[in-house]
Chains A and B, each alone.
Chain A
Amino acid sequence: NAGVTQTPKFQVLKTGQSMTLQCAQDMNHNSMYWYRQDPGMGLRLIYYSASEGTTDKGEVPNGYNVSRLNKREFSLRLESAAPSQTSVYFCASSPARTGGTEAFFGQGTRLTVV
């Protein structure tokens, strides 16, 4: 059982380049999330999707866009990468629409913007 799968695992971008981080879950979960993790800052929510067809901003959405392609897939796009977006990005999913249940995380994408 794969759980939450993120691609790529590592990426180096030049300032101004764009890229899309892919996430897929095979647990039939309704809700999906994108977090970033920075030293000393903990995990911070970028965007989330409560259910297929809906997306909402989290704590740090600036510079990012998301697409909930279907129930399984939730992608995160950086249109014009900046060094401040150097981070580890985690995708997560959870079963319920209304919260109160645990989220399961992928293995992360380590992004460096130079």
Chain B
Amino acid sequence: EDQVTQSPEALRLQEGESSSLNCSYTVSGLRGLFWYRQDPGKGPEFLFTLYSAGEEKEKERLKATLTKKESFLHITAPKPEDSATYLCASRGGTSYGKLTFGQGTILTVHP
């Protein structure tokens, strides 16, 4: 069974204080590792897809990286508008059509 675990559960940063969010996964035949952002009262918003170890993708202050067991979402010089819940999800080769989500990391950036 696919499993995704995110840490920490909550992270408080000062504006400009860079940090990383962790996503550990156990998936048979990874078909994609996904990062989403979710604002309160909204649906998850797609950020990145990573397919193979060593792959990196960037968008503004966010960079996602992937190893064979983990993915990291690096946040460089965050701003208060980066405050949100960040969700990690996997899709495995034997779990057709299904995304397995982690619990999420609640990020708060103080000005």
Contact = CB atoms under 8 A, between A and B. Distances in A.
Interface of A: 4, 31, 33, 40-45, 48, 50, 56, 58-59, 90, 92, 98-108
B43 A102 contact: no
A104 B101 contact: no
Given A101-B32, A102-B46, A107-B43, 8 more contacts: A4-B43, A43-B44, A43-B99, A44-B101, A102-B32, A102-B49, A103-B99, A105-B46
A100 B93 CA distance: 9
B46 A104 contact: yes
B42 A98 contact: no
Given A99-B32, A101-B32, A103-B46, A45 B99 contact: yes
Interface in B29-81: 31-32, 34, 36, 41-46, 49, 51
B111 interface: no
Contacts of B7: none
Interface in B2-19: none
Contacts of A107: 42-43
A52 B45 CA distance: 24
A43 B43 contact: no
A43 B87 CA distance: 9
Contact of B34 (A33, A40, A41, A102): A102
16 contacts: A42-B104, A43-B44, A43-B87, A44-B101, A45-B98, A48-B97, A48-B98, A50-B96, A99-B31, A99-B96, A100-B31, A100-B32, A100-B91, A102-B34, A103-B99, A108-B41
Given A102-B34, A105-B44, A42 B103 contact: yes
Contacts of B41: 108
B43 A101 contact: no
